[in-house]
Amino acid sequence: MDDLIKVGIITNTHGLRGEVKVFPTTDDAKRFLDLEEIILDTGKEKKQLSIERVRFFKNMVILKFRGIDQIDDVQQFRQKALLVTREQAVPLGENEYFIADLIGLRAVSDEGEELGEVADVLQSAANDVYVIRKKGAADLLLPAIRDCVKKVDLEAGEMTLHLLPGLRELNQKKEK
């Protein structure tokens, strides 16, 4: 499990005074209002930044970092991830997991079949979709719903899934 959780990606600058537009990768963009500091992942290093101001515009979060007052100072931050520590993360409810914790879990069917591993989680309006990848096989896309996800055991590194009738065939048709 990673100690840092991604909560957004800086998409662009905003205005001339050092603000940035952030696409939130968290379920609740309002969570930025509670943050005093955030970690910028530059790719080479992780940099702690103090948040001076938070605003919202359409589906984006507008952030102003303390001590960064020019557009030129934030140009280099474009397409960089914003992270928080697990302690700063929003508490999870029952049967809720951080995406970072699900990636890499071994996926097995409730009948004991080795399906592969969780390679990605696609977020859609209706529900998340788990991308199960197995070498030599087409990706299996499974909705993250109770009918399909029977058990998630982070300590064992395993997810038990139920394949609804026709789901495997539907995935194979999409591949063609």
Whether 72 contacts 16, CB under 8 Å: no
- Check whether residue 9 and residue 58 sit in a common domain: yes
Average pLDDT value for residue range 105-111? 94
How many domains does one find in the chain?
A: 2
Average pLDDT value for residue range 121-146? 89
One-letter identity of residue 141: L
CA nearest 57: which of 22, 25, 11, 12? Answer: 22
pLDDT score for 3: 83
Residue 93 lies in a domain: no
- Check whether residue 105 and residue 163 sit in a common domain: yes
Residue 92 lies in a domain: no
pTM above 0.75, yes or no: no
Average pLDDT of the chain to the nearest whole number? 89
Task: Give Cα 119 distance to the centre of its chain.
Answer: 12
The span from the CA of 169 to the CA of 117, in Å, is 19
pLDDT at position 139 over 70:
yes
- Check whether residue 41 and residue 114 sit in a common domain: no
The span from the CA of 111 to the CA of 88, in Å, is 38
**Listed ranges 1-15, 24-38, 47-61; the one with the highest mean pLDDT:** 47-61
Percent of the chain with pLDDT over 70: 94
Report pLDDT digits (tens) over 34-56: 999 999 998 899 999 999 999 99
Residue 49 lies in a domain: yes
1 band by pLDDT with thresholds 50, 70 and 90: very low
pLDDT at position 173 over 80:
no
pLDDT at position 175 over 60:
no
91 band by pLDDT with thresholds 50, 70 and 90: confident
Domain range spanning residue 62?
A: 4-85
User: CATH number, domain at 122?
Assistant: 2.30.30.240
pLDDT score for 54: 96
Whether 35 contacts 88, CB under 8 Å: yes
